[in-house]
Amino acid sequence: MTRSERLPLIAAIQMVSGPEVDANLAQAAVLLAQAAAAGARLAVLPENFALMGLRETDKLTVAEADGDGPIQAFLGEQARRHGLWLVGGTIPLRGAGERARAACLLYDERGERVARYDKMHMFDVQVGDQEAYRESATLEPGSEPVLVETPFGRLGLAVCYDLRFPELFRLLAGQGMQILALPSAFTATTGAAHWEVLLRARAVENLCYVVAAAQGGRHANGRETFGDSMIVEPWGRVLARRATGEGVVAAPIDLDHLRELRARFPALDHRRL
């Protein structure tokens, strides 16, 4: 076995989720089985993997209590069944009031939940004349960055629109982040303009791996997501990607390569602010 074959494999799952939770979970199960069969040790599901509703308020009808519900049970069971660490995209968890939280949950290979990150930045934008989004109408923002020690390195969690706020990733890098998991559902318009350049910039400026799992296609609600799930290494090179449609992309994570880059190019140590 070569050295590259011994490196842990990390997978990004791309989906085109619809308005039926059960159907989405069934499709996620198929893709996670494919990732596990390919040898993945960690898999990342996309944002809204369990539901892309016909209306924004649909997420409130399926929102679960923290620690209890069929979507959370599914994530734990899948992680345990396949013996992999699983970043559960985002699911709606009940908030303090009428809104929910877009929660990104991390499970270990035993199916135990080890972390929860709530999406911090709400996508309240006017993309075009006929395309506008106001996440804050149904979601309340989180406030705490999350970094987790895993067998594959220090894993930071972020979600979609967070990608446009580099201060979040600089903070995580300062805490030792080596891998960034980024479940997303970028719009087709913004994805075509900014997705790749932002992902590669976050990898380069923080000298970390980026595992970006996206929604990628036309959804039942009429929305079109950009897709292009990819894995980027710390020098900005794209190791694997998928343009559109459901599927799995995977690549090895080499922390020795990361450490060598950081030693030869210690930009993180040169910060003045």
Largest CA distance in the chain: 55
DSSP 6: H
Helix (H, G, I), strand (E, B) or coil at 24: helix
Task: From the candidates 47, 64, 135, 233, give the one annotated as an active-site residue.
Answer: 47
- Residue 208 · residue 258 · CB < 8 Å: yes
For residue 256, CA distances in Å to 75, 175, 195 come to 30, 18, 27
Q: Is residue 47 annotated as a catalytic residue, yes or no?
A: yes
In DSSP terms, 92 is beta-bridged to: 102
Nearest residue to 253 (alpha-carbon basis) of 122, 182, 153: 153
Catalytic residue among 59, 64, 119, 140: 119
Whether residue 208 lies in the annotated active site: no
Out of 160, 208, 233, 246, the active site residue is: 160
119 is catalytic: yes
Task: Read off φ and ψ for residue 242, nearest 5 degrees.
Answer: -135, 130
Residues assigned a catalytic role: 47, 119, 160
